[in-house]
């Protein structure tokens, strides 16, 4: 039986998770080990290239660890870029020969260990990863919005299918409770940001704008006909996280208490959110549609998913019977059928359906390439070299701060 179209997406996500593991190993195991070796040879010189200029041992070790992260994620970036090209030229390439692809990736990651840091990893890939990371911040907002819509629609559907009115109210109450928790987390986060990072005008402006945007977004959803309060709560909370990431990069010591100590909380939150986005990208059909920008009402998609006209009509009838008022409902069906498409077939150019467009697997590979850039940035503090209360490159942190907050806006 040939592999399904989604098998390629799932294996791609698994490979990126493997990349994260390798990056951690390179950063916290291989890097310090290389720094501690009493010998000097080609490999150790390649890893310490450009790092010995820093005065303290902790900064040099931090630099070498960062270079290890760049090695792992540059391997993934090259892999997914080539995979995107292959999938564009041959639509079925994304689902084929995965054992060989995994072996190729491992060999690629090992080969990177023998390449000197400069100029490939720093500054070439470092600057490329900053741009790619910012692009993914925007894409991640689309993915998170898709998660929120599916979450909302799933619980609305459960409420509509409940046998008793009491159960219906429980599901709707669960949506409202989730909104309340998310908004509470957002408000608490804003308060903590003002308390710990509000010592200078720049940070105060960032935090204030984030709060204003969150309120405006919620108000817009409440006044719209297709509003979803849950999606507003999710996006507002994510915006607060991005604001925290930005202000934590401010090189001004008067308003950044964590400067020079490494930002463990930002790394943990970044990896957690990225893992959720990765899992959703690999498993959700609607995430693929949002990346591609296709229309839910496209008749061709109905043909691809195998849904019959009778099933579609029955679903429309059920939707008309299940009317739930209130701003928590939303109106568009983003999630009810998201898991019906796990065995969909990618469309070939010039297929019988008449659609000449390419399949979206090449776009998803490009997204995964951007994710590898984002992982590089969250694990290395956007390329900053800081340890032991010392920040060696404040200009890097300042630029990263503005890039992150601009992506949030």
Least confident of 108-112, 291-295, 337-341, 369-373: 337-341
CA distances, 229 to each of 153, 236, 325 (Å): 12, 11, 13
pLDDT band at 21; cut points 50, 70, 90:
very high
Per-residue pLDDT for 188 more than 50? Answer: yes
Return the SS3 of 133.
helix
Task: Say if residue 286's pLDDT is above 60.
Answer: no
- When pLDDT is cut at 50, 70 and 90, the band that residue 363 belongs to is confident
pLDDT tens for 44-68 read 899 998 888 887 787 888 889 899 9
Question: Which of the four pLDDT bands, split at 50, 70 and 90, describes residue 155?
Answer: confident
pLDDT, mean of residues 271-297: 61
- Residue 268 has what pLDDT? 78
Query: pTM value?
Result: 0.69
> Is residue 291 predicted with pLDDT exceeding 60?
no
pLDDT for the residue 113: 92
- The string of pLDDT tens digits covering residues 25-42 is 998 899 888 888 888 889
User: Which pair of tokens denotes residue 212?
Assistant: 């204003």
Sequence-distant (≥ 6) Cβ neighbours of residue 26 within 8 angstroms: 65, 68, 69, 71, 72
Q: Closest Cα partner for 275 from 140, 154, 399, 148? A: 140
Which of 1-10, 201-210, 374-383 is modeled with the greatest confidence?
Answer: 201-210
DSSP state of 14: H
Provide the token pair at 290: 């949002």
Say if residues 340 and 301 touch (Cβ distance below 8 Å). Answer: no
pLDDT exceeding 70 applies to what percent of the chain? 72
State the pLDDT confidence band at 310, using cuts at 50, 70 and 90: very low
pLDDT above 60: residue 254: yes
pLDDT band at 70 (very low <50, low <70, confident <90, very high): very high
pLDDT at 341: 43
User: What residues have CB less than 8 Å from 12, skipping those under 6 apart?
Assistant: 80, 83, 94, 282, 364, 365, 368
pLDDT over threshold 60, residue 302: no
The arithmetic mean of pLDDT across residues 122-131, rounded, is: 89
pLDDT one-digit tens code per residue, 313-345: 444 444 444 444 444 444 444 444 444 444 444
pLDDT at residue 320, rounded to an integer: 43
Sequence-distant (≥ 6) Cβ neighbours of residue 25 within 8 angstroms:
68
Identify the band that residue 71 occupies on the pLDDT scale cut at 50, 70 and 90: very high
pLDDT of amino acid 288: 55
pLDDT attached to residue 2: 56
**What's the mean per-residue pLDDT of the chain?**
75
Q: Write down the residue that tokens 């945007």 correspond to.
A: 213
Query: Phi/psi zone of residue 260: left (φ > 0), alpha (ψ -120 to 50 degrees), beta?
Result: left
> So what's the pLDDT on residue 347?
45
């Amino acid at each position: 039986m040939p592999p399904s179209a989604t098998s390629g997406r799932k294996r791609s996500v698994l490979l990126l998770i493997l990349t994260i593991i390798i990056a951690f190993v390179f950063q916290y195991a291989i890097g310090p080990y290389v720094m501690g070796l009493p010998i000097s040879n080609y490999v150790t010189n390649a890893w310490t290239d450009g790092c010995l200029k820093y005065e303290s041992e902790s900064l040099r070790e931090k630099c070498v660890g960062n270079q290890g992260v760049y090695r792992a994620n540059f391997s993934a970036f090259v892999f997914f870029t080539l995979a995107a090209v292959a999938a564009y030229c041959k639509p079925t390439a994304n689902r084929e020969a995965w054992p060989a692809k995994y072996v190729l990736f491992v060999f690629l990651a090992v080969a990177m260990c023998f390449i000197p840091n400069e100029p490939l990893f720093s500054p070439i890939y470092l600057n490329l990863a900053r741009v790619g990371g910012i692009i993914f911040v925007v894409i991640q907002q689309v993915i998170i919005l898709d998660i929120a819509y599916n979450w909302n629609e799933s619980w609305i559907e459960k409420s509509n299918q409940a046998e008793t009115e009491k159960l219906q109210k429980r599901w709707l109450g669960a949506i409202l409770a989730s909104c309340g928790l998310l908004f509470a987390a957002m408000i608490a986060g804003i308060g903590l940001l003002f308390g710990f990072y509000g010592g200078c005008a720049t940070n105060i402006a960032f935090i204030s704008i984030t709060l204003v945007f969150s309120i405006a977004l919620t108000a817009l959803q409440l006044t719209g006909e297709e509003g979803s309060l849950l999606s507003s709560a999710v996006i507002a909370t994510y915006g607060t996280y991005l604001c925290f990431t930005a202000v934590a990069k401010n090189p001004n010591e008067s308003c950044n208490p964590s400067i020079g100590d490494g930002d463990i909380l930002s790394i943990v939150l970044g990896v957690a959110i990225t893992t959720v986005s990765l899992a959703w990208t690999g498993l959700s059909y609607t995430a693929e549609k949002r990346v591609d920008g296709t229309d839910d009402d496209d008749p061709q998609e109905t043909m691809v998913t195998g849904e019959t006209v009778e099933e579609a009509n029955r679903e429309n009838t059920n939707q008309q019977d299940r009317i739930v008022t209130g701003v928590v409902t939303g109106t568009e069906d983003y999630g009810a059928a998201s898991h019906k498409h796990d065995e969909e077939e990618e469309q070939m150019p010039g297929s019988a359906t008449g659609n000449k467009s390419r399949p979206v697997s090449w776009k998803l590979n490009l997204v995964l390439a951007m994710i590898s850039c984002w992982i590089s940035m969250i694990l290395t503090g956007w390329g900053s070299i800081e340890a032991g209360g010392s920040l060696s490159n404040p200009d890097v942190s300042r630029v990263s701060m503005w890039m992150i907050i601009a992506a949030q806006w």
